[in-house]
């Protein structure tokens, strides 16, 4: 798991074009960067979706992109059981999906944003990849998100990263459903694949 305030500097040649070096931090409420994260969430108008009364939510992980000691982007993911909704087919009970007899979980993206002055520099891709890496480390089966139909830049990013796209209507409380897409990427075998590749590399 990413340790709080662990820096992941871009490798040479991998930094977003025309930008300062970026650091990726996993942040908890106990970290010195937490106030800066909450300020950023306010600026991008996502605090109410990422926090509860200004506090971190249970089983939610916050990853931030920093340049020059300033948080310019973030992604928050919530780990939750992977379940089939209740219906008459399941005797009106939710059913947890299993693989090899083990219950599955997923991470679901709660919020994701890069501040306007720092967009189109590759920060969003780096944040999404950091969230995928953390999803693997958490032992989850997949990472999933919802994006409304007006978020075309996010669509392009997710598709370029190999996410599956599932168009759907999203129910809104007391209102009309909105159109959009669920994006999902299975990561369940990533750790075992990495281990196998490492073993093969060392045996050569």
Tens digit of pLDDT for each residue in 92-108? 999 999 999 999 999 99
Q: Which domain holds residue 37?
A: 23-188
User: pTM to 2 decimals?
Assistant: 0.83
pLDDT-based confidence at residue 10 (cuts at 50, 70, 90): very low
For the chain, how many structural domains are there in total? 1
The enclosing H or E element of 156 equals helix 152-160
Is position 184 within any domain? yes
Domain CATH code at residue 169: 3.40.630.30
Classify residue 159: in a domain, yes or no.
yes
State the pLDDT at residue 9.
39
Return mean pLDDT, the chain.
87
13 part of a folded domain = no
E strands, 48-153, are 51-52, 55-56, 60-67, 70-81, 83-84, 95-96, 98-99, 102-103, 105-114, 142-148
Residue 4 lies in a domain: no
**15 in a domain, yes or no?**
no
At residue 197, the pLDDT reads 53
């Amino acid at each position: 798991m990413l340790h709080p305030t662990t820096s992941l500097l871009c490798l040479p040649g991998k930094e977003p074009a025309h930008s300062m070096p970026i650091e990726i931090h996993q942040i908890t409420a106990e970290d010195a960067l937490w106030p800066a994260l909450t300020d950023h969430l306010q600026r991008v108008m996502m605090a109410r979706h990422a926090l509860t009364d200004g506090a971190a939510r249970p089983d939610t992980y916050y990853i931030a992109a920093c340049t020059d000691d300033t948080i310019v982007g973030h992604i928050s993911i919530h780990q939750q059981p992977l379940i089939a909704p209740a219906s008459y087919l399941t005797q009106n009970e939710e059913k947890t999906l299993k693989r090899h007899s083990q219950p599955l979980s997923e991470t679901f993206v709660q919020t994701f944003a890069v501040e306007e002055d720092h967009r189109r520099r590759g920060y969003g891709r780096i944040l999404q990849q950091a969230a995928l890496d953390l999803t693997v480390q958490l032992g989850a089966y997949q990472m999933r998100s919802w994006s409304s139909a007006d978020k075309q830049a996010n669509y392009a990013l997710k598709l370029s990263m190999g996410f599956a796209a599932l168009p759907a209507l999203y129910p809104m409380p007391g209102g009309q459903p909105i159109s959009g897409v669920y994006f999902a990427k299975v990561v369940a075998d990533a750790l075992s694949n990495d281990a196998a590749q490492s073993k093969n590399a060392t045996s050569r």
